[in-house]
Amino acid sequence: MKQYFQASHYLPDSIPSSILEKAYSLVSKTAFLSGLLAPETAACVSTLLQVADAHYSSVIDRYPTEPEVLEQALELTTQQSTLCKTTELRRRIIAVLGLHHHLLLTTPSHEGNGALARMLTHHSFAELGLLPHLWSLSRGLSRRRDEYQSFISENAHTQGTGLEGGQQFEAVGALLFIDFMLDVCHEEVDYMSIALSRRRIREQVLQSFKTSQRIAGFGISPEIAPALIALLVQGSLPRTEFETFTGLRSDEISDQVCKLRILGIVDTSSEKSGWVEPRLPAWFAHEVLLI
């Protein structure tokens, strides 16, 4: 039997100003994060985080999520497009996290309550413009797994204590959970804002060219580093401009670009003839963006 969730139903009646402020500032922080990356680089980061989230999800739940659970969650996310219609954006964010809390409390753990709740939250955050594809809620929760799981175990411990007492506990627990989740969101957005800043990208690319055995083993010239930094920042460049950044001779640069393509760091653009775009294989993203 399908379930339909109205996120606004899980908006607490009384919300502390500190929680409202955290929800409000999350909007501006994610907007700042989105301005750091060109679309092509953002697409690479999004793909990496999508793959990583499956790993972090198994860390949180301590077991791999069953495929049918993910299919159910995906089906449910397509039914949530009109579920968060409270007047203020910050209250919509809080309502989504309230729904997340409700799902953890009411969905049996063997049915993948955590994975379902996280997928619905990700989808709802995307609808609200919080760009969850550029930061990882699941990674943040895996770092604070015990705290996350404690909200489930605490509620299970109080089951059967009486309807009114249970409702009061759930209301208090929901606010504590929402506050916790907003903290995790802020931590992850802050982390990615630093990792994806131009200064950090420049520092990490230069460091990678000095220490990476893979780059050294392929004979990649250090002169490539400035061109690669420019490519990551701008998202795409005409190949001639990319080559100019290196300062290498034409016979040298052709060999270097070929090696970069073999390493999976750059590739030709599928939309712009004669242009190159960055690619972020997992090993390079870990070295450069620390993700």
| CATH number, residue 242 | 1.10.10.10
What span, in angstroms and rounded, lies between the C-alpha atoms of 108 and 114?
10
Same domain assignment for residues 167 and 59? yes
Same domain assignment for residues 110 and 61? yes
Same domain assignment for residues 130 and 163? yes
Residue 1 lies in a domain: no
What pLDDT is recorded for position 25? 98
What pLDDT is recorded for position 108? 60
What pLDDT is recorded for position 162? 45
What pLDDT is recorded for position 26? 98
Residue 74 lies in a domain: yes
Query: Whole-prediction pTM value?
Result: 0.86
Same domain assignment for residues 209 and 176? no
Domain boundary among 195, 222, 256: 195
pLDDT in tens, 110-131: 556 788 889 889 989 999 999 9
Same domain assignment for residues 148 and 211? no
Domain boundary among 174, 195, 216: 195
What pLDDT is recorded for position 109? 59
What span, in angstroms and rounded, lies between the C-alpha atoms of 223 and 217?
16
Same domain assignment for residues 170 and 210? no
Give the residue among 31, 27, 56 at the shortest CA–CA distance from 291.
56
For 132, the token pair is 């969850």
Same domain assignment for residues 71 and 189? yes
Same domain assignment for residues 63 and 162? yes
| Parent domain of 136 | 7-195
Domain boundary among 195, 227, 247: 195
Low pLDDT (below 70) residues in the chain:
1-8, 65-87, 107-112, 154-170
What pLDDT is recorded for position 63? 76
Same domain assignment for residues 284 and 233? yes
Is 160:59 a contact under the CB 8 Å cutoff?
no
What pLDDT is recorded for position 165? 43
Query: Which residues, 6 or more positions from 62, have their beta carbon under 8 angstroms from its beta carbon?
Result: none
Neighbours of 282 (CB within 10 A): 13
Specify the number of domains making up the chain: 2
Same domain assignment for residues 202 and 112? no
Residue 2 lies in a domain: no
Is 169:155 a contact under the CB 8 Å cutoff?
yes
What pLDDT is recorded for position 164? 46
Residue 271 lies in a domain: yes
Same domain assignment for residues 84 and 126? yes
- What one-letter code names the amino acid at 213? Q
Same domain assignment for residues 145 and 208? no
What pLDDT is recorded for position 2? 46
